[in-house]
């Protein structure tokens, strides 16, 4: 399986961040995993990454439901500001929502590579990232 240089998890659920980070490390997907709790802070983080050569994440995992700026708002801004320059970055949406509309809304973005339901587990993460 591909090893990523840098992975960013955007989710306000600290337990989910901890568990997903543990899975990523166990699967040896990356040595660098950063976590951010909302879309607004993630946009600021990515702007700083653009200023650093080779520091932009090559995998981003984003939750749909978060305070301050939710995942859909983040994706809208991401596509406008970053996607054209970073098309190689894989973008995965995660959610605990059971609403089909949430998945449809998320998958309508061109930058999306895949979708996972919470709780994330090793098998679903492996299938998606193969």
User: What is the SS3 assignment for 81?
Assistant: helix
Determine the Cα–Cα distance for residues 9 and 17; give it in Å rounded to an integer.
7
Residue 104 lies in a domain: yes
Residue 2 lies in a domain: no
DSSP 77: H
How confident is the model at residue 30, as a pLDDT?
94
Per-residue tokens: 48: 């700083």
Residue 17 lies in a domain: yes
Count of domains for the chain: 1
Query: Which residues face 33 on adjacent strands?
Result: 7
Q: What are 88-118's pLDDT values in tens digits? A: 999 999 998 888 888 899 999 999 999 999 8
CATH of the domain at 93: 3.40.50.2300
Residue 41 lies in a domain: yes
User: What is the SS3 assignment for 28?
Assistant: coil
Determine the Cα–Cα distance for residues 66 and 30; give it in Å rounded to an integer.
25
Residue 55 lies in a domain: yes
pTM recorded for the entire structure: 0.94
How confident is the model at residue 40, as a pLDDT?
97
Residue 1 lies in a domain: no
Q: What are 4-41's pLDDT values in tens digits? A: 999 999 999 999 999 999 999 999 999 999 999 999 99
Is residue 46 within 8 Å of 82, Cβ to Cβ? yes
Structural domain boundaries, residue 20 = 7-129
At 122, is the pLDDT very low, low, confident or very high (cuts 50, 70, 90)?
Answer: confident
Residue 117 lies in a domain: yes
Residue 123 lies in a domain: yes
């Amino acid at each position: 399986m591909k090893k990523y240089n840098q992975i960013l998890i955007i989710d306000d659920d600290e337990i989910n961040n901890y568990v997903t980070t543990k899975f990523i490390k166990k699967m040896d997907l990356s040595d660098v995993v950063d976590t951010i709790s909302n879309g607004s802070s993630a946009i600021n983080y990515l702007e700083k990454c653009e200023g650093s050569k080779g520091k932009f994440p090559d995998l981003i995992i984003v939750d749909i439901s978060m305070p301050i700026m939710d995942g859909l708002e983040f994706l809208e801004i991401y596509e406008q500001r970053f996607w054209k320059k970073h098309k190689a970055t894989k973008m995965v949406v995660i959610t605990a929502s059971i609403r089909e509309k949430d998945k449809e809304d998320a998958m309508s973005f061109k930058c999306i590579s895949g979708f996972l339901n919470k709780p994330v587990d090793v098998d679903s993460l492996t299938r998606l990232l193969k």
